[in-house]
Amino acid sequence: MIDVQNLSKQYQIAKRDPGLAGAVKSLFSRKYETKQAVQDISFQIQKGEMVGYIGANGAGKSTTIKMLSGILTPSSGVVRVNGIVPYENRRRNASQIGAVFGQRTQLFWDIPIRESYHLLKHIYQVPETEFQQRLEMFTDVLDLGPLLGIPVRQMSLGQKMRAELAAAFLHNPAVVFLDEPTIGLDVAVKDRIRAFIREMNRQQETTVILTTHDMQDIEEICNRIIIIDGGKILYDGALQAIKERFGDKRTIHFDLEKNDGFTIPYALATRVEQVVSHREAAGKSNSISLSFNNAEITAAEVISEMMQAYTIRDLTIDEVHIEQIVKDIYERGL
Ligand SMILES: Nc1ncnc2c1ncn2[C@@H]1O[C@H](COP(=O)(O)OP(=O)(O)OP(=O)(O)O)[C@@H](O)[C@H]1O
């Protein structure tokens, strides 16, 4: 379905000296520097796969997706989506792909979304009965009923995102690119969106490429992940395999009675690491999170040592999250 071979993309960035003098100088002689955004990546994605394309900010995710959707032309390498070279056949490629790009909308801003859907039906030449069936199913799964008569302009972020997803799938594309489809949404809307994506994949075998920083999205939707860093592929494989490989990682969150100058108990010092979890980040000052490898030390041992050194009010043990795994890979390599 998707074939990417030795794909690279460099951007030319105009360089300018600071200040007014620099601005004037740049009018006469421009200097450029090259930014290597994507560097010699290759992968194949089969029909019906749901792949998480993940990496830190600036890793090269959007650049790759833009090349797959035909918005950008690669500097070198080959891309084929269903046999089509996207940037050479943008129109043909557009009919077989759907996309949701974070904050951007493909719906008409000022007209009720029902009308936008009808326009998309004409643009993509979707037969009437198929259109009606699909719209009915989308309305049901995405709870669009109360929104059909409203323009995007008047919608909340969660409502807009549901409307966008329906638009992306309306012409039953073979491949859908989803860029942060659940960002900033509440848990109920996230659930609905994830269920919708899974349902479309189940019914239509839609191939889905998902870029997200939300690891829950990945865990609930994808069975394969590609991790990109500095424009290069760091890992490409089953989500489960990487979880098993790094699955010995555990984190325990302790709620301490007092926390004036916490230090890791001596017996644990070389085997556990203090990490900043969302609790500490949220300012829960008596919270301490310790991360360790279960193959080196058991949770029971960590808890026992902590209980000897501190008065503990409560504790929770975290499951292995792919987010932590990815962070580890970034920091320490595979
Ligand atoms: N139009 C552009 N001109 C110059 N450099 C660019 C351009 N677009 C992206 N870059 C650079 O290329 C690199 C990869 O950017 P890209 O947008 O693909 O990253 P990303 O993984 O999608 O990041 P994010 O998670 O922040 O969206 C970054 O260093 C970025 O600064």
* Residue 236 contacts residue 51 (beta carbons within 8 Å): no
Domain with 276 in it: what CATH number? Answer: 3.30.70
Instruction: Say if 251 falls within a structural domain.
Output: yes
Output the pLDDT for position 318.
Answer: 81
Q: Are 124 and 204 contained in the same domain?
A: yes
Query: Nearest CA to 162 among 136, 139, 180?
Result: 139
**Where in the sequence is the domain holding 286, given as residue range(s)?**
247-332
Residue 278 has a pLDDT of 64
The radius of gyration of the chain's CA atoms, rounded to the nearest angstrom, is 24
Helix (H, G, I), strand (E, B) or coil at 48: coil
Of all atoms in ligand 1, which is nearest to the CA of residue 62? 22
How far is ligand 1, taken at its centre, from the CA of residue 333, in Å? 22
Out of 204, 230, 256, a domain closes at 230
Query: How does strand 50-54 pair with strand 224-229?
Result: parallel
166 lies in some domain: yes
Token output for 140: 């049901």
> What is the value of pTM for the model shown?
0.79
Ligand 1, atom 1: nearest CA belongs to which residue? Answer: 11
CA distance 162 to 72: 27
Q: What's the CATH number where 151 sits? A: 3.40.50.300
Give the phi and the psi of residue 37 in degrees, each rounded to 5.
-85, -40
What ipTM score was computed for the predicted complex, to two decimals?
0.96
User: Per residue in 170-197, is it b (16+ CB within 10 Å) or e — as a string?
Assistant: bbbbbbbbbbbbbeebeeebbebbbebb
Query: Structure tokens of 24?
Result: 């004037």
pLDDT score recorded for residue 282: 64
Q: What is the DSSP string of 81-144?
A: ETTB-TTT-HHHHHHHEEEEETT---S-SSSBHHHHHHHHHHHTT--HHHHHHHHHHHHHHTT-
Cα-to-centroid distance, 108 and ligand 1 (Å): 27
Please tell me whether residues 61 and 142 are part of one structural domain.
yes
Residue nearest to atom 2 of ligand 1 (CA): 11
The last residue of one of the domains, among 230, 257, 285, is 230
Please name the residue whose Cα sits nearest to atom 26 of ligand 1.
57
Under 8 Å between Cβ of 63 and 175: no
Same domain, 164 and 67: yes
Rounded distance from Cα 61 to ligand 1 centre (Å): 8
Q: Which residues make Cβ contacts (< 8 Å) with residue 300, sequence separation at least 6? A: none
Whether 202 and 295 map to the same domain: the answer is no
Are 125 and 192 contained in the same domain? Answer: yes
Task: Name the closest-CA residue to atom 19, ligand 1.
Answer: 58
pLDDT of residue 178: 93
Nearest ligand 1 atom, CA 179: 27
* Size of the chain, expressed as the number of residues it contains: 334
Ligand 1 centroid from CA 36, angstroms: 9
Q: Tell whether 263 and 179 lie within a shared domain.
A: no
27 within a domain of the structure (yes/no): no
Q: Ligand 1 centroid vs 67 CA: distance in angstroms?
A: 13
Could you read off the pLDDT tens digit of each residue along the chain, which spans 334 residues? 899 999 999 998 877 777 777 777 777 777 778 889 999 999 999 999 999 998 888 889 999 999 999 989 999 999 999 999 999 988 888 889 999 986 677 888 889 999 999 999 999 999 999 999 999 999 998 999 999 999 999 999 889 999 999 999 999 999 999 998 888 888 888 998 999 999 999 999 999 999 988 888 888 999 899 999 889 998 999 988 877 777 677 889 999 988 778 899 999 999 999 988 666 666 666 889 998 888 789 999 999 999 999 999 999 988 666 666 777 777 766 6
**Whether 201 and 272 share a structural domain:** no
Residue 57: its pLDDT value, please?
82
Residue 42, domain member (yes or no): no
Task: Quote the number of domains for the chain.
Answer: 2
User: Is 258 found in the same domain as 199?
Assistant: no
Angle at 134 (CA atoms; ends 133, 137), nearest 5 degrees: 90
Q: Is residue 52 part of a domain?
A: yes
**Residue nearest ligand 1's atom 5 by CA:** 11
pLDDT at 21: 75
Domain final residue pick, 182, 205, 230:
230
* Ligand 1 atom nearest to CA at 38: 14
11 domain residue, yes or no:
no
User: Does residue 324 belong to any structural domain of this protein?
Assistant: yes
Note whether 293 and 223 are same-domain residues: no
Asked whether residue 271 is assigned to any structural domain, the reply reads yes
Q: Whose CA is nearest to atom 25 of ligand 1?
A: 57
Residues with CB under 6 A from ligand 1: 11, 13, 35, 37, 55, 57-63
Q: Are residues 170 and 286 in the same domain?
A: no
One domain, residues 84 and 226? yes
224 and 278 inside one domain: no
